[in-house]
Amino acid sequence: MNQTTLFIADLHLSPGRPDITAAFLRFMQEEANQAEALYVLGDLFEFSIGDDEPSALNDEVAAAFKACGEQGTPVYFIHGNRDFMVGRRFARLAGMTLLPEHKVIDLYGEPTLIMHGDTLCTDDAGYQRYRRITRWRWLQWLFLRLPLSRRMGIADGIRSKSAQSKEVKVMQVMDVNQGEVERQMQRYKVRSLIHGHTHRPAIHQLDINGQSARRIVLGDWYTQGSVLAVTPQGVELQSRALPAN
């Protein structure tokens, strides 16, 4: 077992992108099972409509996580804005642990805040309003009681509306708010933050109240795999090639 902790986010797995699924499964079989832990920081799936969705893809992903855990690598999951309906049933099948939206972990002696990252994008008022509404427990309860066909139709509508919205929003609005980043890091008393969501992989050096800090952003898997490897010696953002179609 390597003294390495791995982080991934924003794979947006879907039947329409078998190349991403293949890259993910290869990563799970060849790398993740050698790590001390694997953290999935949201948007693993392009969309989730509930654990009762009959999906060969979901079953394949759950089996990959389960095998990883059985080989000694625990898997932890934080919901993203696309897969917040992933629930306890899927978690049990996958043998993974569901974490709250903001979590502080001990990363080789460094208290580190991990999250999906959408809560940092406070300049996008429309999205934040949508996020608050969709997290209402009673609304999720009602949604899960709709027929699967109806839920799939709603999901398609949300995806289409989201794509149209992104076309008209300026990139600055869709990125994190620096003040919110600092507020959250001060709130949780950390100098290290890891998140995804913005699809802009980078390691940002910060100064918070005169102390050095860092914000690490995970990349998406649209054109290449993106993995953050953390060891006691340091951190490294790495890329993985997708298989040729």
User: 167-183, pLDDT tens digit by residue?
Assistant: 444 444 468 999 999 99
Question: Is the whole model's pTM more than 0.85, yes or no?
Answer: yes
Mean pLDDT of 52-68: 91
Given strand 102-107, what is the order of strands in its sheet?
A: 102-107, 110-115, 192-195, 211-217, 202-208
Q: What is the pLDDT of residue 48?
A: 78
Q: What is the pLDDT of residue 149?
A: 65
Q: What is the pLDDT of residues 94-148, one digit of tens each?
A: 999 999 999 999 999 999 999 999 999 998 887 778 777 777 676 666 766 676 6
Integer Cα distance of 83 and 81 in angstroms? 6
